[in-house]
Homo-oligomer: A and B are copies of this chain.
Amino acid sequence: MTQASTANTTARKRRYSAGLQLPYTHLLGDADSREQLPTPSLLVDEEALGRNIARMAQFTRQAGLKLRPHIKTHKCSQIARLQLAAGAVGISCATLDEAEAMADAGITGILLTSTIVTQDKLERYLRLLRQAPDTLLVLDHPEPVSRLSTLAQAAGLQAGVLIDLDIGYHRSGVRTEEQAGAVVRAIQDSPALKLLGVQAYSGAIQHIAGLDQRKAVLTEQMSALSRLLAHIQASTGQLPICSGGGTGTHALDAQQGIFTELQAGSYVFMDADYARIDLGEPPFETSLRLRASVVSVNCDDLDGDERFVILDSGTKSFALNGPAPVCLTAPWENASFRFMGDEHAHLILAPGSAPPRIGTGLEFQVSHCDPTVHHFDHLYVVRGETLTDIWPIDARGRS
């Protein structure tokens, strides 16, 4: 290690032992610490992560777009800081809890991409707005608009809001010109609210594997977006923000000339789902791995498809919604993965291959990065075989 990185490691060990309750800090900086990590655990390749962050920053800059990356993927303020340092205008959050955790970590430019509607959460939103005044919220119904307006006026605050548009995914948002008009009027009625733009996000489209099929669905959705946007602009004038897009469509989104900023998030980590998707060009690397141990090897009496060993990682580690995790550790790349409950899985050995010894550490490309990260409290950051940092997943929590 260089002198600078040794000093870094010492500072990190001190930081952790001083305050944060983090496990396994004693391994920081040890040459072979990666293989001593407890399992199941999530590892991030520091260099691959850095390249992914730089590439998306460069892509959006060259496309003339702003980047407000979605942190529901990583839920980690350390990664959000790296994204902001690379030029992001802020971050997108899925839940109020995430937004509060990020604001507590000093992150600014937060867009809350899910509407909130209850009195309690609207009050929490105003506390957040006092702490981080540039925080934005999406809304899709006159009732919470009016409720927020009353609360904001009473508190003497002004909230910047976007209208959430449903352009075909049917998760949230207004779908018709009538619905959009009602929300616009409710916002215009309130001196405490400032309409800054629209959001249009389409989750399922990100996962359409073929580039042409994805392009066809996107084109249809962009026409719905243009129509609703034109209708809203007719009564409000030009709006500064049109936010949306994702990792799966980022190259296509940029060609449409409609979005002003992208919310892509998964590009930081990638996963087995994105690995099977044709992104046009493959500019992002798998930087996230789940490390598991082989904890039971009693397959000497088994044949064929049923020669398996047991891993200590099940549905409480790997997310279920995605393709099966892929073993990245040689020579078991051709072994297949099968869930066996909350804490265990089978690694089914390819014909003729030797089983790993009991205790062997194996690393996997995860099924789906967002809900996998949600299972864990920490990211172990590695560079080669060395643990270089441990980052709390500080926005992990209720959904």
Which residues from chain A sit less than 8 Å from chain B, CB to CB? 36, 38-41, 72, 94-95, 114-121, 140-141, 143-144, 164, 166, 170-176, 178-179, 203, 293-298, 300-301, 306, 308, 310, 312-317, 319-321, 340-344, 346, 357-359, 370-371, 374-377, 397-399
Since A170-B340, A172-B344 are in contact, a sample of 19 more A-B pairs with Cβ atoms closer than 8 Å, ordered by chain A residue number, is A38-B398, A72-B343, A95-B312, A114-B344, A117-B358, A119-B359, A140-B296, A143-B358, A144-B358, A144-B359, A164-B296, A166-B298, A170-B306, A176-B298, A313-B399, A314-B399, A315-B321, A316-B399, A374-B375
Could you list 23 A-B pairs, sorted by A, with CB under 8 Å?
A: A38-B118, A40-B399, A41-B398, A94-B342, A114-B343, A115-B296, A117-B293, A117-B358, A117-B359, A118-B293, A143-B358, A166-B298, A172-B296, A173-B296, A176-B301, A203-B341, A313-B399, A314-B399, A316-B371, A316-B374, A320-B321, A342-B370, A376-B398
A143–B341 CA distance with the chains assembled, in angstroms = 24
Are A295 and B172 in touch, CB under 8 angstroms?
A: yes
Q: Given the complex, which residues of B lie within 8 Å of A306, measured CB to CB?
A: 170
Known: A298-B174, A397-B377, A399-B316. A38 touches B310 (CB 8 A): no
CB of A287, distance to nearest CB on chain B (Å): 20
Q: Can you tell how many copies of this chain the complex includes?
A: 2
Known: A176-B301, A342-B72, A344-B172. A317 touches B375 (CB 8 A): no
Chain B CB within 10 A, most for which of A95, A397, A398: A398
CB of A30, distance to nearest CB on chain B (Å): 13
Pick the contact of A317: B117, B377, B398 (CB < 8 A). B398
Q: Given the complex, which residues of B lie within 8 Å of A375, measured CB to CB?
A: 374, 398-399
Closest to A139 in B: B296
Are B398 and A40 in touch, CB under 8 angstroms?
A: yes
CB of A49, distance to nearest CB on chain B (Å): 21
CB of A142, distance to nearest CB on chain B (Å): 9
Pick the contact of A140: B172, B298, B321 (CB < 8 A). B298
Chain B CB within 10 A, most for which of A170, A173, A314, A319: A170
Q: Given the complex, which residues of B lie within 8 Å of A397, measured CB to CB?
A: 377
Q: Given the complex, which residues of B lie within 8 Å of A314, measured CB to CB?
A: 399
Q: Given the complex, which residues of B lie within 8 Å of A343, measured CB to CB?
A: 72, 94-95, 114, 399
CB of A364, distance to nearest CB on chain B (Å): 14
A263–B304 CA distance with the chains assembled, in angstroms = 33
A94–B295 CA distance with the chains assembled, in angstroms = 13
Closest to A357 in B: B143
Q: Given the complex, which residues of B lie within 8 Å of A203, measured CB to CB?
A: 340-341
A117–B294 CA distance with the chains assembled, in angstroms = 8
A306–B358 CA distance with the chains assembled, in angstroms = 51
Q: Given the complex, which residues of B lie within 8 Å of A374, measured CB to CB?
A: 316, 342, 375
Pick the contact of A377: B308, B359, B371, B398 (CB < 8 A). B398
Are A117 and B298 in touch, CB under 8 angstroms?
A: no
Pick the contact of A298: B175, B293, B315, B346 (CB < 8 A). B175
A70–B120 CA distance with the chains assembled, in angstroms = 36
A36–B119 CA distance with the chains assembled, in angstroms = 9
Are B173 and A298 in touch, CB under 8 angstroms?
A: yes
Q: Given the complex, which residues of B lie within 8 Å of A120, measured CB to CB?
A: 36, 38
CB of A45, distance to nearest CB on chain B (Å): 20
